[in-house]
Structure 1
Amino acid sequence: MQRKKISLTILTAMVGLGAVLSGCGEKTEVTPTASSSSQGKPNQFANKMKISMFNQGTFNAAAPIPPREEDVQRQMLEKAVNIELDMMIPQAGQATTKLNTLIAGGDIPDMLFLKSRADLAQYYDQGVLADLTPYLDQFPELKKRFGTDSWDAVSYQGKTIAVPGYDNVNGVRSLFLRNDWLKKLNLKVPTTSDELFEVMKAFTEKDPDGNGKNDTYGFIGGMNKEGTLQTYGFDYLMWMFGVNPPSAIEVKDNKPVFLFTDPKMKEALAYINKMMTAKVVDPDWVTMNTPDLLDQKLYKGKVGFMIRDVRRLEPDAQQKMKEIGGEVPEWIVIPPMKGPYGDQILERKSFQGNSWAISKKADKDKIIRILSMLEYLFTDKEAYPNFAYGLKGIHWDLVDGKVKNKTSELSKDMREKYQWVEHYKMARRGDDAEYFSFQNPKTTEAFNDNQKYVAPTLPGNILTADPSDTLAADRQRFINESLVKFMTGKDPLSNWDNFLKTLDTKFDMQKYKDTATKQFKEAGLIK
């Protein structure tokens, strides 16, 4: 029998809803926008239903939950699908303990925000969570809201057991280049890996700042305290060869491909070693183990090419450049280089680890009501700014007929006063430049341009750790250390085959391959 599709009743009377928030002697009227999709639809949820929500997806766990009469977003969710929403916000660092206590006591919340795929799989295996597969076809807009990779991430053992929680943000990592140095040396913006090397070499050797000293470098990167190169700059250089993140796993020709053993990884390491040999890399890279330290290098202005957050184009960062380096360099954000195999990647889409799951105790009607609420939260266009940005008239407003996020213009006191709106911001899209309330138009432009170079996430992200793989931590440590040794020249690349052999003989690489193959088969990615 074909299931009857259920349409969503949304905010039929929301035009008249107004919440009066008072404090410090002022009164601010906040009126959410009515949903156009609600017009003329019958009320399919005539009976009010209580829904309990465990919301560790909040963007500010320290913010108090306001009274219902002041909580505009909660009123919108409740009115959209005729529910009474009881939202619980666990304290930071205590979410897992709190949730496990509730589960052990049989008081499982109706809907649960989970932060990792491992937690999702674990709670499903324990019989805590419902299988949502039979219901999702009734919510086509919700299904369209997230990409295939996000839905794959919340699938387990052939079943869809959750709804993606919120978009991770991609496109903030950016390629920063000193355009003033390019002009002085009569160079063009590089577009290939070879051109980039020549630019970095010139930045190092040709005194681009004109002070007569040998104190500039073409590039600086770093690695975190665990010895991983990812997100600190050197990993971008590997993107040009299509082998990043180094620990990632692809599926090609019906088998897993480990990027750290791919022949193209050897080429990427040779490229970085060439940079090291030519001394275009600032030697301080070995101490760059936090993002703040790399920012200090950006502010000092003695390096010509770096990988930093696009928000370093914002006024506060520009002011730090002036204070620390004595000037505001002409930094520009450029597109990623095209590598020797045609790869032109800035980063990969972050894995959809977070999700909204539903208790197995929920009956069919409650599951449908919760999924209806999530469809409204994530897909209603007119309600979107109320969840993504905050309160109309305070955090955002209509300017020349367009929504304008004014959050960056608010005083510290105003931000703190209304910080509870962050409990609902998981609705915001990861590629929404307006969400960030950028002040510099160049930041917005760069962020939007960066989206073109965000590649799909790799299937290896769906793998869960094998508890019987006792060599996993030592294997990863050996891989990290070996890659650094190869790129610095401490271990010549002529020893590459020995590296692969050691993985097999000492670190049981075959067990890792077998585990990956088994889980890929279970997910339908390998036949």
Structure 2
Amino acid sequence: MRINKAGLGSWHRHVKRKGYPWFPGRQMLLLLLMAGIVLSAGCDGPRLPTPDHPPDAKPKSPINIVISNLGMTFPAGMDENDNRYLNYIEEQTGLDIRVNTPPPEVYNEKLDVIMSSGNLPDMLHTYDPVWFDHYAKLGALHPLDELLDQYGPNLKAKIPAEVWDRVKYGGNIYAVPSLNEVTGVELMYVRKDWLDRLELAPPVTLEDYYEVIRGFTLDDPDGNGQQDTIGLTLTSKLGRSSPFFGAFGTQLDTWFERDGKLVYGNILPETKEALAFFNRLYQENLLDSEFPLNLQSSVHEKIENGKVGLFSAAWYDTRGPIAANKLKDPNAEWIMLEYPTGPEGHSGVYGKDVIRGYNVIPATSEHAAEVIKMLDFIVSDYKTLKLGFENEIWRWENGVMVTDFALHDEHLYRGIYQSLVDVPDPVLFKERLDSLGDFNLYNNLEMINQHIIPNAFYGVPTPAMSKYSKKLDRMEDVFTKIIMGIEPLDAFDTYVEQWRQEGGDEITKEVNEWYTRQEAGR
């Protein structure tokens, strides 16, 4: 009797998609199949075991994982538990993977709810180092060293030793980290056709930028006879503002070395100067009045519809809102700019931490080995999961990677699984970006990489960070109020004092203790 393995796989996926219990159904199916084999053996000769389905095989226990859907959507008829890439991972590893994707808007809160429940999954993925630090110190997570030695050769080979050191507590590893592929995000883009119409040169200094922002607001750069354009736009919580803080030699949420000590960028006098610059723009109606409410999609819509000609772009926006604007207005011409240089000669943008996310296994999991096997496979088959299926999504032509854009975009959901263990591959990265079209993506990242203002603190969150971070983050609302004139500029000084009193001094002390240890070890 021949067992149709493809049919079993199809039935398995049907069970997962419909949410039927897996164990009872599969046990019954196996019993029926084995009964059929026994009956046929009486006619066809002795029963011979096969490598794939030995006679004493037990049903696989599913592994349950909680991950973010990254805001992705699935093609019709697919979901997070039934799609080509998850099915591919299962077929290659022999694992049965059940996926739970809490909504991105409440993802962190949901992780806390799950950890406090009595029904823990086998793996969770978090992007929050404070969250990881909290549960590692509680003893709620499974140590991974022996599992990695036995089941994670590719993980150990592709993730640098210094990164593993950052997910250790008491000498033991408690997370499989996912790495950032890019070092930074923001760079300046401008509509050259608007500059040309107003006879303005590409801005370099902060004062040059002010003049361009003023002209783009008041001097009808699109030539439609109406004053309906925006000089500069930001998103809520001061998103897309990094180059302007960089012009003053500071960055939000970044630690700097000053006179042998680490200090927090949010409380530096330079940050007050940056807020004063934005307040000037706002009071003169040169800054988008809707910025406190702007989502990223709101900014994209304004750019696409020709209302914005200057903004701090994400490196991939040339393939997004800028490309969309060019489709609507064939005369639109966008160029990359130098970062604004401030009065003291400073410029640059924030950098991204090397660790993007953390895969952790609750201490109660009975399937920790299977989780490590899954993650090890993901990192080992990086190209398929990163780019999509070869000769379908992409192919080689005369040594050049060619991508089918429509299929590439339809299959973007693969990133939900691949990004669990992202590892940089510079050669493949450039080939992939170049294959996506003439959007200057690689050059954008090269520009950013040359102007990163590094964060001097890169250790695990300190105890005081875990204790006070949420409260201190809420206090930053005063920055927006200062820009809008709701609070005076001197409210910044009050914020600094409150920040220090409400846990900031304790955080600073711990950060400098870490810094002293780092310097001693050099």
Which bin holds the TM-score, normalised by the shorter protein?
0.5 to 0.7
Match runs of 1:157-236 below 5 Å:
159-167=172-180, 171=184, 173-223=186-236, 228-229=237-238, 231=239, 233-236=240-243
Report what 2:14 is aligned to.
none
Once the two structures are TM-superposed, the CA of residue 96 in structure 1 deviates from its matched residue by 3.8
1:238 to 235, 245, 265: 245
DSSP 3-state at the match of 1:442: coil
Contact 2:279–2:482 (8 Å) recurs in 1: yes
**Whole-angstrom CA distance in 2 between matches of 1:491 and 1:91:** 40
Contact 2:339–2:348 (8 Å) recurs in 1: yes
2:304 to 270, 292, 299: 299
DSSP 3-state at the match of 2:396: strand
**Whole-angstrom CA distance in 2 between matches of 1:336 and 1:67:** 42
Once the two structures are TM-superposed, the CA of residue 441 in structure 1 deviates from its matched residue by 0.8
1:355 to 358, 361, 370: 358
**Whole-angstrom CA distance in 2 between matches of 1:313 and 1:67:** 29
Report what 1:41 is aligned to.
none
Report what 1:16 is aligned to.
none
DSSP 3-state at the match of 2:95: strand
Change (3 A) 1:443 1:459: same
Which stretch of the first structure deviates more once superposed, 255-264 or 369-378? 369-378
**Whole-angstrom CA distance in 2 between matches of 1:477 and 1:129:** 29
Once the two structures are TM-superposed, the CA of residue 262 in structure 1 deviates from its matched residue by 0.5
TM-score (norm 2): 0.68
Task: Give the unaligned 5+ runs of structure 2.
Answer: 1-5, 11-56
Percent identity between matched residues is 21
Match runs of 1:82-481 below 5 Å:
84-93=94-103, 96=111, 100=115, 104=118, 109=122, 113-132=125-144, 142=155, 145-146=158-159, 150-151=163-164, 153-156=166-169, 159-167=172-180, 171=184, 173-223=186-236, 228-229=237-238, 231=239, 233-245=240-252, 247-250=253-256, 252=258, 255-286=261-292, 288-314=293-319, 318-319=323-324, 323=328, 329-350=332-353, 352=355, 354-358=357-361, 374=375, 377-378=378-379, 380=380, 383-406=381-404, 408-410=405-407, 415=410, 422-429=416-423, 432=429, 439-452=436-449, 453-457=451-455, 459=457, 462-463=460-461, 466=464, 475-481=472-478
DSSP 3-state at the match of 2:209: helix
**Whole-angstrom CA distance in 2 between matches of 1:467 and 1:457:** 16
TM-score (norm 1): 0.67
Change (3 A) 1:140 1:255: farther
Return the structure number with greater helix share: 2
Once the two structures are TM-superposed, the CA of residue 295 in structure 1 deviates from its matched residue by 1.9
Contact 1:404–1:434 (8 Å) recurs in 2: no
Report what 1:486 is aligned to.
482
Contact 2:186–2:349 (8 Å) recurs in 1: yes
Letter in 2 for 1:239: G
Letter in 1 for 2:312: I
**Whole-angstrom CA distance in 1 between matches of 2:340 and 2:63:** 45
Report what 1:518 is aligned to.
510
Report what 2:46 is aligned to.
none
**Whole-angstrom CA distance in 1 between matches of 2:169 and 2:421:** 24
Letter in 2 for 1:487: I
DSSP 3-state at the match of 1:441: coil
**Whole-angstrom CA distance in 2 between matches of 1:285 and 1:479:** 15
Contact 2:188–2:338 (8 Å) recurs in 1: yes
**Whole-angstrom CA distance in 2 between matches of 1:207 and 1:420:** 44
DSSP 3-state at the match of 2:355: coil
Once the two structures are TM-superposed, the CA of residue 305 in structure 1 deviates from its matched residue by 1.1
**Whole-angstrom CA distance in 2 between matches of 1:209 and 1:271:** 26
Contact 2:244–2:340 (8 Å) recurs in 1: no
DSSP 3-state at the match of 2:348: coil
**Whole-angstrom CA distance in 1 between matches of 2:491 and 2:364:** 57
Residues 414-461 of structure 1, C-alpha deviations (whole Å, 9 max, x = no match): x47x96685345455577366578744124345443442445455378
DSSP 3-state at the match of 1:210: coil
**Whole-angstrom CA distance in 2 between matches of 1:480 and 1:221:** 15
DSSP 3-state at the match of 1:89: strand
Once the two structures are TM-superposed, the CA of residue 254 in structure 1 deviates from its matched residue by 5.9
Contact 1:433–1:447 (8 Å) recurs in 2: no
Contact 2:193–2:331 (8 Å) recurs in 1: no
Contact 1:315–1:439 (8 Å) recurs in 2: no
Matched residue pairs, number? 451
Change (3 A) 1:405 1:159: farther
Contact 1:475–1:503 (8 Å) recurs in 2: yes
Structure possessing the higher radius of gyration over alpha carbons: 2
Change (3 A) 1:143 1:193: farther
Residues 152-206 of structure 1, C-alpha deviations (whole Å, 9 max, x = no match): 6523456432221353666554422011122233333223323322322333444
